[in-house]
Amino acid sequence: MSDSLTKVMTNILLIVNLILTVMVCNMVFGLRQQMSRLGEPITKSDLIAVTAPTMEMSFMDKCTRCHSEKRFADVPTDELHLAVLQMQKLPDTNITDSDVAKIEASLALRDFSADTLRQMVLMPDTQRLETIGQVRNTPGSAPITQEEARQILQAYKTLLGL
């Protein structure tokens, strides 16, 4: 009696296992069909491109709370950088080291329009370097070096969080 009960239980479990296996296979095939209809997967660059139009110079929130934008318009970048480092030492400014890095990156990108920065989002690094060279190599100015272009590219990546 025990032997026949074991056989019946084993057969029932095999049938349940077969049913569950068929259900899982159907779910997997359905999921694959849905995924094939989605097209290409979204990449980090695509997400950045969606958020890029709202990307502004990162120091605007902290600095313009107390200072007007006009105050920074004609100040050389080196003086702004020193001012930020001095402001960081004040207890009520709440400027962190990561804020300073973003501010430094923003200062490096002062010459670039928001449209240019948006266009650069999905470009490969080689094309970004070319764009940086085109923006910075204006008539009457000294040509930008490869090292300066790489530093500006790194600043751009810092602002985007890459």
Is there a single domain that holds both residue 107 and residue 124?
yes
Encoded tokens for 111: 């010459």
> How many angstroms separate the CA atoms of 106 and 59, rounded?
7
Give me the pLDDT at residue 55, please: 45
Q: Do 131 and 119 touch, CB atoms closer than 8 A? A: yes
Give me the pLDDT at residue 130, please: 87
Whether the predicted model's global pTM rises above the 0.85 cut: no
What is the tally of structural domains in the chain? Answer: 2
Is there a single domain that holds both residue 100 and residue 129?
yes
Is there a single domain that holds both residue 24 and residue 59?
no
- What secondary structure does DSSP assign to 110-129, as a single string? TTS-HHHHHHTTTS-HHHHH
Is there a single domain that holds both residue 95 and residue 116?
yes
Most confident of the following: 14-23, 28-37, 110-119, 146-155 = 14-23
- Say if residue 27's pLDDT is above 80: yes
Is there a single domain that holds both residue 135 and residue 84?
yes
User: Average pLDDT of the chain?
Assistant: 75
> Which structural domain range is residue 18 located in?
2-39
Tell me, what DSSP letter sits at residue 123? S
Is there a single domain that holds both residue 77 and residue 136?
yes
Residue entry with tokens 């660059």: 45
pLDDT band at 158 (very low <50, low <70, confident <90, very high): confident
Is there a single domain that holds both residue 145 and residue 73?
yes
Encoded tokens for 119: 């266009």
The letter for the amino acid at 138 is T
pLDDT band at 59 (very low <50, low <70, confident <90, very high): very low
Is there a single domain that holds both residue 64 and residue 115?
yes
Query: What is the average per-residue pLDDT within 88-95?
Result: 70
Residue of 65 and 110 predicted with greater confidence: 110
Q: Do 102 and 158 touch, CB atoms closer than 8 A? A: yes
